[in-house]
Structures are given as structure tokens and as C-alpha cells.
Amino acid sequence: MNKRKAGLALSLVVAAGAILTACGAGGNKTGAEKKKDDFTVAMVTDVGGVDDKSFNQSSWEGIQAFGKANNMEKGKNGYDYLQSKSDADYTTNLNKLAREKFSLIYGVGYLMEDAITEIAEQRPDSHFAIIDAVVKKDNVASITFNENEGSFLVGVAAALSSKSKKIGFVGGMESELIEKFEAGFRAGVQAADPKATVQVKYTGAFDKADLGKATAESMYKSGIDVIYHAAGGTGNGVFTEAKNLKKEDKNRSVWVIGVDKDQHAEGQVEGTDLNVTLTSMIKKVDVAVQDLTEKASKGDFPGGKTITYGLKEDGVGIAPTTDNLSEDTIKAINEWKQKIIDGKVKVPSSREELKNFKI
């Protein structure tokens, strides 16, 4: 009888311990340990803001698409974002989301590389992802794109559409990443028309539309008739200047090539049926974000890995809106695209590689 009582008492102690252990684990769940039903995701924008009509906006659209597909709501228990007003906000915002135990936290843009690295080290149990940069940490997944390949195609479009054969490139902050856009674009122009020239200018910012407008004004005055921008919110100023010029003279040849998203709507001249967007180089950031988030939610987070999207993976390319491109230009673009996919053309990703680029 005493043995049975002792055995019963021991069983109750073990059961109670198991319950307490389970409660303790549940109360201290990290973002990375949450079950699929509890999965949450958030992102931190760079200074361009969530409505930059570029890669911040595209990233947020990818998260929203995942959230809606999984019946999630915006907020701490679903999907959310924090907007950075300056680079000083990056670390603070990432840390805030980590404290709120989001399962997956995105840092959007290469400018957040140092902040992601710092917070990932401080919070090894949290999962992070960075777009347009590589952070070699086991709890960080890196998403990159072959922007040079997509930029090559819009370079072909610029060369075959320009009447003056004077073409411009406006970059945001000069960096290894934006140099990929520049090098690919210049290579595409060179391949399509060796006689065409490309003037390159950097504004030093991704959130200064006034600088974009002033830079575009100078370029258009010099005879340039097509400008490709890789400048985030600064590029909005390029569109503004082009639209103003077109409104003054509807017959003037003046074009803008958009970036990251299909920016056809940005080129619409108010009160007219005119549009100054020649085409856009699209990076399917939304698709990449939704894809990675889906994998993470199923417990397949690719920590420590770099996932690259190029023409072959359908991660970059020409925007679907082709109203202002001729049939011959579209045909040429498709031919060059296939050559790149087949490996017959290696698109340069830097100015150094551009120097040795040959068809």
C-alpha cells in the first residue's frame, strides 16, 4: 500500500514538472521557435520609406501578400513594418521587432547590412533576412538579385529608343550594388548601339526627389533624351522633370526608365494621355520576400544562405507594360535576354568588368 502511494506521488510530481516545463517554454518562446500557427513577420524600411514606389514598397507588398494568403492581420500578432527616418533608426527598429518576438524580420536594402549584422549577433535566437546585401550569420538569410542583367535589357531599350543617342544614368548613393545597375545598363547600351553615349551622375541620396529633379534637368538640357534611374525616392524627381518638359512640349522626345517596380504610372503626364516612362527594370522583390517567408513559416528558414534571383530565375527583367517600346525593340530585348540566360553573354557587374566587356 505504501509503495503504491509512493508511486502515485512520484507520478504526480513528474506530471506537474512536465506541465511547468511546458508552461515555461511557452512563456519564453523566441521568434525563431514559434509554431506555424504563431508565425509572424515584419520588416524595417530604409530611409526611402514604405511607399517609395520602389523596393521598400515591393518588399511590403510581398509581406502583405503572404499575410493575406494566410489570413493574418496587420500588427504584432501578424505582419507589420517599421519605417526608418534616418540610418540611425535601423538598429533601433530591428531590435524593437526582435523584442516583440517576430518570427522573421526583414531589413530592406544594403544600407542595413551593419545593423542586421549587429542585431543578429545580439539575438542569435531570432531569424532575420536582408535584401540586397549578404550577411554571413546562421540566423540571417540573404536575398540578392542580378540587377546587372535586368539593367542590360533596359540599356538595349534606351539605345534603340533614343533619338539623340545621348543617354543618362542617375544613381542614388554610389556603392557596389548601384554600380551593378550602372555597369549592366551601360553594357546594354553599348551592345545595342556602340555609337550611343551614357552620362553617369550620382545624387548621394535615395530620398531626395529635389536632387533627382535637378540632375535630370541638367541632363535633359544637355541633349540627353532617355534617363535610367536607380535612385529610389530620388528617382521620383527624374519623373517630375520629364513630365514637366513633356507638358511644355508634347512632341519632345524625353523618357525615363523606372526601376525595381513597373513605374509606368509614375510617368503619366497629368491632364493628358502622354506618358514618359519608356519601360522599367523590375526586381521581383515581392515574389522573393513572399517565397522566403513561406519557407520560414514551414520551418525551412535558409539561415546562413544567399539566394540570388536573376533572369534565369525570373527574378529581374523588363516591366510588363511595353506601350512605349516598338515591336523591333521588344524583339531585340527578348533576343538578348535569351543569350544571357543561355550563358552566351556575361553581363558585367562592375565598372572594372565593363572595361573588358565584349560581345
Each residue's pLDDT tens digit in the chain (359 positions)?
A: 444 444 434 344 434 443 333 333 333 344 444 455 699 999 999 988 898 878 899 999 999 999 999 999 999 999 999 999 999 999 999 999 999 999 999 999 999 999 999 999 999 999 999 999 999 999 999 999 999 999 999 999 999 999 999 999 999 999 999 999 999 999 999 999 999 999 999 999 999 999 999 999 999 999 999 999 999 999 999 999 999 999 999 999 999 999 999 999 999 999 999 999 999 999 999 999 999 999 999 999 999 999 999 999 999 999 999 999 999 999 999 999 999 999 999 999 999 999 999 88
The distance in angstroms from the start CA to the end CA of the chain is 93
Q: Per the structure block, which three cell numbers stand in for 132?
A: 540586397
Contact assessment for residue 152 and residue 187, using Cβ atoms and an 8 Å cutoff: yes
Contact assessment for residue 198 and residue 165, using Cβ atoms and an 8 Å cutoff: no
Q: Quick one: CATH architecture of 33-145+286-309?
A: 3-Layer(aba) Sandwich (3.40)
Residues of the chain with pLDDT > 90: what percent?
Answer: 86
Residues 6+ apart with CB under 8 A from 83: 45, 49, 50
Please list the residue range(s) of the chain that carry CATH number 3.40.50.2300: 33-145+286-309, 147-282+326-355
pTM comes to: 0.83
Measured between alpha carbons, how far is 290 from 141 in angstroms, rounded to an integer?
13
Q: Quick one: CATH architecture of 147-282+326-355?
A: 3-Layer(aba) Sandwich (3.40)
- What angle (nearest 5°) sits at the alpha carbon of residue 59, between those of residues 58 and 62? 90
Contact assessment for residue 28 and residue 89, using Cβ atoms and an 8 Å cutoff: no
Q: Per the structure block, which three cell numbers stand in for 302?
A: 535558409
Reported as a single tens digit per residue, the pLDDT across 170-203 is 999 999 999 999 999 999 999 999 999 999 999 9
CA distances in angstroms from 56 to 62, 88, 232, listed in the order given? 10, 17, 9
DSSP-derived letter for residue 28 is: T
Measured between alpha carbons, how far is 66 from 183 in angstroms, rounded to an integer?
34
Task: Beginning with the edge strand found earlier in the chain, give each strand of the sheet holding 166-171 in spatial order.
Answer: 197-202, 166-171, 226-230, 255-260, 277-283, 316-318
